[in-house]
Amino acid sequence: MRTSDFDYQLPPELIARHPLSERTASRMMVIHRADGDIEHLQFTDLARFVRAEDLFVFNDTRVVPARFFSNDHRIELLRVESADPLHWRCLVRPGKRMKIGRTVEVGESTGTVTEIDDLGYRLLEWDQPVDEATHGQLALPPYMEREQEEADEERYQTVYAREEGAVAGPANRRLRRKRRDAACNAATVRRRGGSRTSCVDGSCRLCCNHLQIDVSS
């Protein structure tokens, strides 16, 4: 299965390049299973549809700055896993510049490609830890067609993130309270690493993410 199987035309004016100022203003599409009718509401209306037997799944992953560029800006790295600060598993672009033995400089650190796995991921070994605070960026979706902005560091997160510093917004509190009142279950999903797609030499394939799921009542 390839990502090209899902290609479709999306008018540029319909692409949300920036989040709404108020999270609670987000739109929500409801598909009624009984008759197939489609209803357009707002996220704040979600509590109307909560039933005791429902299961809410919350993504509590906090997005980290995992996108890096070489000092000459010719190589882009997307770190998907790191065994330790010196060993990364990355997607790279362009791949032809990052063959085994090739090096890349990010700040004061130099990384060497030690292996290329079956999916095209590069295993990099650094001579010293990369200064992530200085050189790391959020991996914004390409369709946004813009660079990272200061506000993205907080708004490009779910309100369910458990990491220190995450803030739960009003919509989150109302939803959790409604869930408790209805005595329905909840589960949290946490991505341990990986990316949605793997791109090698311009050919993209769908890949699986590794998820950790905890269920509570």
Residue 64's pLDDT is what? 81
Please state the pTM of the whole predicted model: 0.63
Q: Is the pLDDT of residue 87 over 80?
A: yes
E strands, 99-143, are 103-106, 109-116, 122-126
Q: How large is the average pLDDT for residues 125-153?
A: 86
- Tell me: the pLDDT tens digits for 58-72? 777 777 888 999 999
Between 16 and 161, name the one with better pLDDT: 16
For domain 67-135, give the fold.
Thrombin, subunit H (2.40.10)
Q: How far is CA 160 from CA 2, 63, 143, 184, 189, in A?
A: 31, 12, 25, 17, 10
What are the structure tokens assigned to 177, written together?
A: 């309270």
Q: How large is the average pLDDT for residues 69-91?
A: 94
Residue 186's pLDDT is what? 64
Categorize the per-residue pLDDT at 145 as very low, low, confident or very high, splitting at 50, 70 and 90: confident
Domain range list for the chain = 3-63+141-216, 67-135
Residue 184's pLDDT is what? 58
